[in-house]
Structure 1
Amino acid sequence: MLRKFQYEDNKDMLDYWVSDPNVQFLYFEPIYTTYEEVKKLLDEYISSYDDNDYYRWAIIEKDSNLCIGQIAFFLIDTDNHFAEIEYCVGTKFQKRGYITEATKSILDFGFNKVDLHKIQICHAENNLYSKSIIKKCNLTYEGTLRDYFFVDGEYLDRLFYSILKKEYISFRKNK
């Protein structure tokens, strides 16, 4: 289930993903270790919902009602009808299809509610988990920015994938 973040999500966030270096490292976000830090992050998320073009959702596991991750259009270009997706889910909840399902949901939302023309996702070359999600969502490889990230003394490439609205509609019809 996807919904807006709430302050009550702070414990789950801290327990399941924002404090986990293995999760935060995969999308180059800071590690949060205290409730005060998570509250500031939630202040940012929640206050941004007043903006018309702010799209960030908590990923909630239906059975447990736990906040297990997040997904967002973190980069939006309204002039060119374009957005980029970022996502993460706690290690305990990975490889269960949550991110794939969430990504498919916001692709649909982006094309049908926001009227985007193109949506992209990118990942560091070592993030094979993200690559498999992107493939399941039928995005097309566009290219690589070589040596884009400098992490732990080494350079990593950034791989770009995208899907156009017409491709998304065609895929949905043929499904």
Structure 2
Amino acid sequence: MALRPDYPLLTDRLCLRPFTRGDVDAVCGYRGREDVARYLFDPPLSRDECALAIQQRTVQTTLVEEGDRLVLAVELREDKHLIGEVSLIWRSAEARQGELGWIFDPQFHGRGYATEATNALLDLGFGSADLHRIFARCAARNDPSWRLMERLGMRREAHFRQHALFKGGWDEEFYYAILRDEWLAMRQST
């Protein structure tokens, strides 16, 4: 499988596109926040750290081999305001599996943007990428993330209790997944 999407990916309200160097300030606006970093492996990022992250993301636009990732900026179509990012990582070539991820500016929570953007990546993953299974994971305390997974039609497959030390405490993590056949059936019923 080689996936080289034709960008941008457009939804009703959003544009998913590769990152550019001009995105540093917008990304720093949300990745520099403590409340955003709470459930991420990274601490809040400085402007220099955001610039380095954007530099790496500008080339994360195709899935050619296992381990590759698409990391796309999510902006509003109406005013081109960057509001977050979504990712799709090719986790297993043999089992045709991918992992979905997202980070959104809290100013834009509660408006359905994360659902809309991640639905577009699921369409890509189960369509052009021909993945069999896509999973996502989050801290068990991150209610908005696991609720998003449920809105996407994903099912909770695991609850790892105190499985790792994370930022000074024991971490609990939920894993959710959806199969290609389930996704296609869901899309056909709407």
Q: Deviations over 1:102-135 (max 9, x none)?
A: 1111001000010000000111110000111111
Query: Which whole-Å deviations, capped at 9, do the CAs of 1:9-45 have from their partners, x for residues lacking one?
Result: 1111112x110121122233332122x2222111111
**Cα distance change on mapping 1:21 and 1:45 into 2, 3 Å:** same
Whether the aligned pair in 2 keeps the contact of 1:69 and 1:87 (CA below 8 Å) is yes
Q: Please tell me whether the aligned partners of residues 100 and 134 of structure 2 are also in contact (alpha carbons under 8 angstroms).
A: yes
Name the SS for the 1:161 alignment partner: strand
Distance 1:49 1:170, change over 3 A: closer
1:38 alignment partner AA: C
Q: Secondary structure at the match of 1:96?
A: coil
Paired residues, what number?
Answer: 173
> In the alignment, is residue 49 of structure 1 matched against residue 64 of structure 2?
no
Deviations 1:50-88 (A, max 9, x none): 663431110112233121111101352222210111111
Cα distance in 1, alignment partners of residues 63 and 183 from structure 2? 27
More off after superposition, 22-31 vs 108-117: 22-31
Which residue is equivalent to 1:14?
28
CA distance in 2, matches of 1:152, 1:46: 28
Q: Which runs of 5+ in 1 are unaligned?
A: none
The match for 2:10 is none
Distance 1:97 1:70 in 2: 14
Structure 1 window deviating more from structure 2 (65-74 vs 162-171): it is 65-74
Identify which range, 73-82 or 135-144, moves more after superposition. 73-82
TM-score of the two chains, using structure 2 as the length reference: 0.84
Structure 1 stretch 39-48 or stretch 93-102: which is displaced more? Answer: 39-48
Partner of 2:94: 79
Q: For residues 67 and 149 of structure 1, do their structure 2 counterparts lie closer, same or farther at Cα, with a shift above 3 Å needed?
A: farther
Question: Equivalent pairs: percent with the same residue?
Answer: 23
The amino acid across from 1:49 in the alignment is: T
Hey, what does 2:41 align to over in structure 1?
Answer: 28
SS of 1:119's equivalent in the other structure is strand
| Cα RMSD for the two superposed structures | 1.7
Cα distance in 1, alignment partners of residues 100 and 40 from structure 2: 11
AA matched with 1:23: V
> Kindly tell me: are residues 152 and 144 of structure 1, through their superposed partners in 2, closer, same or farther at Cα, counting changes over 3 Å?
same
Q: TM-score, normalised by structure 1?
A: 0.91
Q: Which position in structure 1 is the counterpart of 2:111?
A: 96
